[in-house]
Copies of this chain bind each other. A is one copy, B any other.
């Protein structure tokens, strides 16, 4: 990889730290369904398993570059610097939440930290991200937009329309297709024509004559490398690229859908619950990106066991503090609900 993209020890440790922070946050959200039943309403979707894809991608960004993820959005702002307190308070629907309790888990937004927001409707935010890249181009800000979306979303028309326009206009955007192998309960091999033919999903790039590459999404360094190239291309005014990061969602799609006041919880992973495929789940669990990266850093002496522990303890403490903050934050006043409808 070009020198400028080589990762220093410090940078590798920073990446590990972010991955751990994401993992700890997601596990706390998951635990909240048991420890604080009813506190999380609606549908929460976790990014455990996606840490290498998220951090590997965002480790290539410049200070003002934007991240535009899908509704499975917890991981990204953690890397961008959004306070976990505000994030957890939003997931808990509190007044001190990032969005004052209006958005919840699916709709975090923190424009101050370069995260303009998300959509819960599959594929739609790919167009929004493309629009953010248009702003960057028109206003000549030098920003690159990192657009994240799922394997499932790559079957929505919005994806194709957006990438075509970005390619024609040579917009500064990187499309990161996070192939976590499931869209809700459906394995991607059941619905994607490339997959049915045994091809990688990055082959879709050919429809736009742009670079398309598939990379091991459990390895943050591999992701970093591929996304660096794509970001360089974007920054050079050459337009978009498609990077498929292939990894595995480690938790179920989301908490079980229930009608209130029935409490909701996280079920088993679909591989097991729907397909009865314990082996698949176990195989991918063994490739847990956080665990793998930890051993690698220790093996390559980028990190000591003691430092790793320190990082993990710090993340745990940070997340614990976030949960306490969120629980202590009041619910919004009902009358607030008519605010923010119009600017």
Chain A residues near B (Cβ < 8 Å): 155-161, 163-164, 167-168, 190-194, 196-199, 203-204, 206-210
Main DSSP-derived SS at the A contact region: helix
Complex: A198 Cα to B209 Cα, angstroms: 9
Number of copies: 2
Task: Evaluate whether A168 and B156 lie within 8 angstroms (CB atoms) in the complex, with A203-B209, A207-B203, A207-B206 already known.
Answer: no
Q: Which residues of B are found within 8 Å of A167, using beta-carbon distances?
A: 193, 196-197
Task: Evaluate whether A191 and B168 lie within 8 angstroms (CB atoms) in the complex, with A155-B161, A161-B156, A197-B209 already known.
Answer: yes
Query: Which of B157, B199, B210 is A158 in contact with, Cβ under 8 Å?
Result: B157
Complex: A196 Cα to B204 Cα, angstroms: 17
Identify which of A164, A190, A193 gathers the most chain B CB atoms within 10 Å of its CB. Answer: A193
Q: How far is the CB of A203 from chain B (nearest CB, A)?
A: 5
Q: Give 28 CB contacts A-B under 8 Å.
A: A155-B161, A156-B157, A157-B157, A157-B159, A157-B160, A157-B161, A160-B160, A160-B207, A163-B193, A164-B191, A164-B192, A167-B193, A167-B197, A168-B190, A168-B191, A168-B192, A168-B193, A193-B209, A194-B209, A197-B209, A197-B210, A198-B209, A203-B206, A203-B207, A203-B209, A204-B207, A206-B206, A207-B207
Complex: A192 Cα to B166 Cα, angstroms: 10
Q: How far is the CB of A160 from chain B (nearest CB, A)?
A: 4
Q: Which residues of B are found within 8 Å of A197, using beta-carbon distances?
A: 167, 209-210
Q: How far is the CB of A130 from chain B (nearest CB, A)?
A: 13
Q: Which residues of B are found within 8 Å of A159, using beta-carbon distances?
A: 157, 160
Identify which of A155, A160, A204, A206 gathers the most chain B CB atoms within 10 Å of its CB. Answer: A160
Known: A164-B192, A167-B196, A193-B210. 8 other contacts (CB 8 A): A156-B157, A157-B157, A168-B192, A168-B193, A193-B207, A197-B209, A198-B209, A203-B209
Q: Which residues of B are found within 8 Å of A163, using beta-carbon distances?
A: 193
Complex: A158 Cα to B197 Cα, angstroms: 21
Q: How far is the CB of A335 from chain B (nearest CB, A)?
A: 40
Q: Which residues of B are found within 8 Å of A210, using beta-carbon distances?
A: 193, 197
Q: How far is the CB of A227 from chain B (nearest CB, A)?
A: 21
**6 closest Cβ contacts across the A-B interface?**
A157-B157, A197-B209, A167-B193, A206-B206, A207-B207, A193-B208
Complex: A193 Cα to B155 Cα, angstroms: 18
Q: Which residues of B are found within 8 Å of A204, using beta-carbon distances?
A: 206-207
Q: How far is the CB of A214 from chain B (nearest CB, A)?
A: 14
Minimum CB distance partner of A204 in chain B: B207
Q: Which residues of B are found within 8 Å of A157, using beta-carbon distances?
A: 156-161
Q: How far is the CB of A176 from chain B (nearest CB, A)?
A: 17
Q: Which residues of B are found within 8 Å of A190, using beta-carbon distances?
A: 168
Complex: A160 Cα to B153 Cα, angstroms: 12
Q: How far is the CB of A330 from chain B (nearest CB, A)?
A: 43
